[in-house]
Amino acid sequence: MRKMLVSRRVVVGGLLLTAAGGGVATSWASPSLGEATEVRGDVRRKQAKKDDPLTVGSQLFENDSVRTNVESYATLNLGTDTRVLLGAETELLVDSFIAGQGGTLELGTGRMVFDRPEGLPKVDVAVRTAFGMIGVRGTKFFCGPSRAAFAVFVEHGSVSVARGGVTRIVAAGQGVEFHHRGDAPSEPINWGEPRIREAYASVGLTR
């Protein structure tokens, strides 16, 4: 797995997902990293010490934290061609991002789908959670709770998953699971259509 440049913020037992491509820049050309394009229900955005509702068109900046509450969903556009879909009761820190290069996100709780159209150059995106460490090479993937496990599923692209000294290569259409924090990833398995639909529905996405 390639070594990636990530934020100095330390997350105990943190999870890292990396959609691989060119190197991550250490400074950002624009103060705005993206915007909210869809908001359903009660979604909040914390900037520094200010906590207010997130609405369609709200700009996102470095270190913004977005939180969805019960039965609430949000779609964030980062750069010009990257979408991040958040399910209910999810918290995501937009640590840093730059269009065409990538950045760092932190999934504190809940589930998300990272989505870039096929055929575009890959970007380096790190997604941390408190569950483990995973490196993802791909342009569309789900991560979060799925059927009593924390799971990573790849729609297209490929995934390299490492934890506890074990590395798995996950192809499109496959997923891996973690049943306990600190576990090594399971063997990759093909996900059936019902489970894929369930995972996507949990972030408000219809397959």
Beta bridge partners of 38: 75
Structure-token match 């390299």, residue found: 160
pTM value is: 0.83
**Residue-level pLDDT at 21:** 42
**Residue-level pLDDT at 5:** 37
Give the whole-angstrom CA distance, residue 84 versus residue 76.
5
**Residue-level pLDDT at 1:** 41
- For the segment 66-90, the average pLDDT, to the nearest whole number, is 95
| Domains defined along the chain, listed by start | 17-201 (2.60.120.1440)
CA distances to 2, 69, 146, 184, 200 from 175, rounded to whole Å, are 20, 27, 11, 14, 13
In the chain, the percentage of residues whose pLDDT exceeds 90 is: 50
**Residue-level pLDDT at 52:** 95
Residues 6+ away with beta carbon under 8 Å from 194: none
